[in-house]
Amino acid sequence: MSFTSDTKKELLALKQDQCCKMASLSAMLAINGYLSLSREGMKLGFQTTSLPIARKAIELMKQLYPVHIDVLSKKGIRLQKKNQYLMIVSEKVNMIIHELGLMSDEGFARDIDETVILNDCCKKSYLRGAFLASGSINDPRSSSYHLEISVPNINYAEALASLFNRFDLKAKTLTKKKGYLVYMKDSEKIADFLRVVGAHHALFDYEDERIKRDFVNSITRVMNMEIANQNKTFEAANRQLKNIEIIERLVDESKLTKSVKEAMFLRKTYPEASFNELSDLSSEHFGKTISKSGLNHRFRSIDQIAKEALELYVD
């Protein structure tokens, strides 16, 4: 099973108070619900490609309202098209959509009614219902952190993102060709979302994998830095050795200062050593410690002497 499926399975098993059940059902219907009119009257429908989610919508509807529910299953027509599961309610539809905050002057309202989310527990349940309806979350072992909920229109996307952000989750909206998204990419905020909606087992697994991944990434960054520093050290040492070779071939040793000779000796003796290491080794050979800045100054002098010697040689 995917991380999304495991998370939803945990959320489906949570117990909720009556007010929270209404909030969850309102969110599920706002995202995947619809109204239809026919000679038989008004019908409220809910559709999903997930059988467990369909069962949850039916369970919530039965627990909240004593109405008859028709359940249909439609096989996908196209290749690899998932089956569609439909819940259809034909009784007390007007009362249900009013109580769930899904009715406006223009008809079925895909919006978040404040009366449905008066309490914090209801706000959390609404987010839980929205995620169950059309949410997904990347496996924390994947290359990126990402949580998203597909929604029917931009107004609802902004309203849902606003509800997310009442818990400081820093959700954003995105318009795509195939619809609208409320999404999060911050790993810590995704963990906070799992905590808010009550997916504690998923949160534990998520944090465990996140810690492992961040640890590996940290080790990799340190190793890359060390390799890069080593490469820089080797490149600088090779350049210095070439300059020393030029000086020894073209420059009279008597014209070299004591400090330059000391730097040349250290580099020739320890061709792969860093400035830090050369600084430590200097006290063993000369009875004094030459600082990193001192070594840097001396090797700049060596570079300049080699350059001038080459120019004279060419002339």
Tens place of pLDDT per residue across the chain (315 aa): 799 999 999 999 999 999 999 999 999 999 999 988 877 788 999 999 999 999 999 999 999 998 999 999 887 666 557 788 999 999 999 999 999 999 876 678 888 999 999 999 999 999 999 999 999 999 888 878 999 999 999 999 999 999 999 999 999 999 988 889 999 999 999 999 999 999 999 999 988 887 777 766 777 787 778 777 778 878 888 888 898 888 888 888 888 898 888 888 888 899 888 888 888 888 888 888 889 888 889 889 888 888 888 877 765
pLDDT tens digits, residue range 157-190? Answer: 999 999 999 999 999 999 988 889 999 999 999 9
Q: Which two tokens stand for residue 154?
A: 């931009």
Confidence (pLDDT) at 240: 86
All domains of the chain in start order, with CATH: 3-198 (3.10.28.10), 215-314 (no CATH)
Q: Residue 70: in which H helix or E strand, if any?
A: strand 69-74
Q: Rounded to two decimals, what is the model's pTM?
A: 0.70
Q: How many CB atoms lie within 10 A of CB 203?
A: 20
